[in-house]
């Protein structure tokens, strides 16, 4: 087995060899601790029968652990400067494909068809660029890709919001959007010292396992997300006030909102953070006919 990329010494050597300078705007904080990488791949539950999709391989610190523990790795890297470096650092592995594309613009489904059609189980495993954590996770879930789950490093605060339960201050429309599709669990917190350069925020690893079907059934997913987002627009406001100000023509449709809240047994003075996902589903279904005529 070749020497780990993710040690401070080897990372510095690679950066020096290529004269690489970090781009803060691309969220480039590389991992320099092999133990953390082993932990991430263990939590992801990889085997040689599974494939891994990585977002942002950097200089290959996590990629090589994925190459060792899974059957195949498909990695999307936006920074063209890293492509020749990865070709060099990952040369001991023949099961890695690097795609030089922005993950938010890439046709991931097509790439999975091209590269990973032999694999039933696909996990997304990454140390995410923090400036786009949420759009990346939402894209992967909303495009309904054939993946089993997502196990990623992100800002601890975002991990807490994603896995939050009703009644907590972290619970919001992001918790609902993600728990609608997955079972979410924070599996470890990570100190700043394992990154080069060190980020300003604390980090954590979150594991999202896709449900066979969404946790609740709703008439219309988009409308359900409109209602949940609207309900948290101003956290201190009641559900009634948020919905009247956020839903299309909400003020004129106040009576409809009052009626839907009554029908679903939700007190109009409650705040969004006290409603369970099931309550949001019932509420959104009760509002749907009037708002979609
Ligand atoms: N995986 C490496 C590691 O753990 O050391 C690097 C992780 S670093 C936090 C994030 C990586 O994502 C960087 O390599 C960055 O260039 C890349 N990146 C940033 N935005 C991206 C995007 N939209 N699509 C694909 N890669 C992106």
Q: What's the domain range around 152?
A: 8-210
Domain co-membership, 128 together with 27 = yes
Domain co-membership, 164 together with 269 = no
What pLDDT is recorded for position 277?
98
pLDDT tens, position by position, 145-196: 999 999 999 999 999 999 999 999 999 999 999 999 999 999 999 999 999 9
Domain co-membership, 174 together with 242 = no
Distance CA 47, CA 201 (A): 32
What pLDDT is recorded for position 62?
98
Which of 12, 58, 132 has most ligand 1 atoms within 8 Å of its beta carbon, as the pocket-test mutant? 58
**pLDDT band for position 1 (cuts 50, 70, 90):** low
Domain co-membership, 31 together with 136 = yes
User: Closest ligand 1 atom to the C-alpha of 37?
Assistant: 4
User: Closest ligand 1 atom to the C-alpha of 31?
Assistant: 5
Domain co-membership, 204 together with 246 = no
Domain co-membership, 106 together with 238 = no
Ligand 1 centre to CA of 93 (Å) is: 20
Domain co-membership, 195 together with 236 = no
Antiparallel, parallel or unpaired: β 121-127 and 50-55: parallel
Instruction: Evaluate whether residue 215 is within a structural domain.
Output: no
152 lines ligand 1 (CB under 6 A): no
Q: Over range 102-128, report the average pLDDT.
A: 98
User: Closest ligand 1 atom to the C-alpha of 23?
Assistant: 16
Ligand 1 centre to CA of 262 (Å) is: 48
């Amino acid at each position: 087995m070749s020497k780990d990329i993710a040690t401070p010494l080897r990372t510095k050597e690679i950066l020096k060899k290529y004269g690489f300078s970090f781009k803060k705007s691309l969220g480039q904080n590389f991992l320099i601790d092999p133990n953390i990488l082993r932990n991430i791949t263990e939590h992801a539950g990889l085997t040689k029968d599974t494939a891994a999709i990585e977002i942002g391989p950097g200089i290959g610190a996590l990629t090589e652990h994925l190459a060792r523990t899974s059957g195949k790795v498909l990695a999307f890297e936006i920074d063209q400067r890293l492509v020749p470096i990865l070709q060099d650092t990952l040369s001991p592995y023949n099961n890695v494909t690097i795609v030089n594309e922005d993950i938010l613009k890439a046709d991931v489904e097509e790439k999975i068809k091209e590269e990973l059609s032999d694999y039933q189980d696909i996990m997304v495993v990454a140390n995410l660029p923090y400036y786009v954590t949420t759009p990346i996770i939402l894209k992967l879930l909303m495009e309904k890709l054939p993946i089993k789950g997502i196990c990623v490093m992100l800002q601890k605060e975002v991990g807490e919001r994603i896995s939050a339960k009703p009644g907590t201050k972290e619970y919001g429309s992001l918790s609902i959007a993600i728990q609608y599709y997955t079972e979410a669990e924070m599996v470890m917190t990570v100190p700043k010292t394992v990154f080069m350069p060190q980020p300003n925020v604390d980090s954590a690893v979150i594991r999202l396992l896709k449900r066979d079907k969404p946790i609740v059934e709703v008439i219309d997913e988009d409308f359900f997300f409109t209602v949940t987002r609207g309900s948290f627009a101003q956290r201190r406001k009641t559900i009634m006030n948020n919905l009247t100000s956020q839903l299309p023509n909400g003020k004129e449709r106040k009576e409809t909102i009052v009626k839907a809240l009554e029908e679903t047994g939700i007190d109009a003075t409650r705040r969004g953070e006290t409603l369970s996902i099931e309550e949001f589903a019932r509420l959104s279904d009760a509002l749907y006919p009037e708002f979609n005529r």
